[in-house]
Amino acid sequence: MSSEILPAFSETSNVERKQDLNEDQEENQKPGLGEGFEPISKRQMKKIMKQKQWEEQRELRKQKRKEKRKRKQLERQCQLESNSEGSDRKRIRRDVVYSPLRLIIDCSFDSLMVLKDIKKLHKQIQRCYAENRRALHPVQFYLTSHGGQLKKNMDENDKGWVNWKDIHIKPEHYSEFIQKEDLVYLTSDSPNVLKELDESKAYVIGGLVDHNHHKGLTYKQASEHGIDHAQLPLGNFVKMNSRKVLAINHVFEIILEYLETRDWQEAFFTILPQRKGAVPTDKACESSSHDKKFTRVEGGLNSDSSEEENRNELDSPHKEEKQDKENSTESTVNSILH
């Protein structure tokens, strides 16, 4: 009896072993995700789980990004509402009325300047551009004879100039595209004094930073080419300690200010820097007569020394104010350019 049972039991156990082996083989032959028929390692399994988790959280990440964008938009809106200066600037820009007056910076003196002065010219042009963009009555701004050292310096240090708006930058000389009868060259050496601006004209400012090495050059060129010339009526309204030679951007800004106020004196005293020691001509006359009386009474004061003291009194109280103004102008220029 026992001999009959044993063979049957062994046969049954052999069958079970074969089934287990077949199942193991089938399990091993099942394809992994993206791995063909090779078995999946623990590292691959972790990657698969991470990928699955990433896919499951896709919608959650999308929702978080939306919330972040909405939050930033609300912050910007609150900042704009609280920033009165920004809102005022937007309101002012809507009131802009463009002037037909053409204002040209003549850059044909490139070969007469060293690199240091070229860089100063570039900075003054930047200020002209920034002020024209902010003005209530912006002019038709031209930059002519653009090339040489100036263009190279702008390409290297201010690549954004190619995207400037509301400006005509031309390599040609201004005489090639503007009629001679429309031109007026602004030079402090001219005997002609402007009374008012004719907005049908094209006024030329010499783009020359030379520290008086080429005195009278722009006046000489204008006369030789038969171009009308004139100087701003500075002497009629202002008494200054220094010569009546202004920086390019100061001439440019005075014209912008005059177009807005139609008042030369207000334009001069709004724009001229404190270091020029500018005072109204009537006050200058009063001061001069007072000094003469004082000199006669004292009998020993030197007029040059008193003038030097007046100059120091004009300059010293405004040093901090001048520095603050220059810093604010610099930040304004950078914000507009960029």
Distance CA 108, CA 147 (A): 9
CA distances from 236 to 17, 262, 307 (A): 119, 15, 20
Q: How is residue 152 written in tokens?
A: 């190279």
Cα 261 from Cα 255, distance rounded (Å): 10
Q: Which stretch of DSSP H or E encloses residue 63?
A: helix 58-82
106 backbone dihedrals φ, ψ, rounded to 5°: -85, 110
CA distance 100 to 138: 9
- Catalytic residue at 210? yes
Q: Which listed residue (158, 210, 291, 315) is catalytic? A: 210
Please state, as a whole number, how many other Cβ atoms lie within 10 Å of the Cβ of residue 315. Answer: 15
Percent helix / strand / coil, the chain, rounded to 5: 65, 10, 30
Residues labelled catalytic: 210
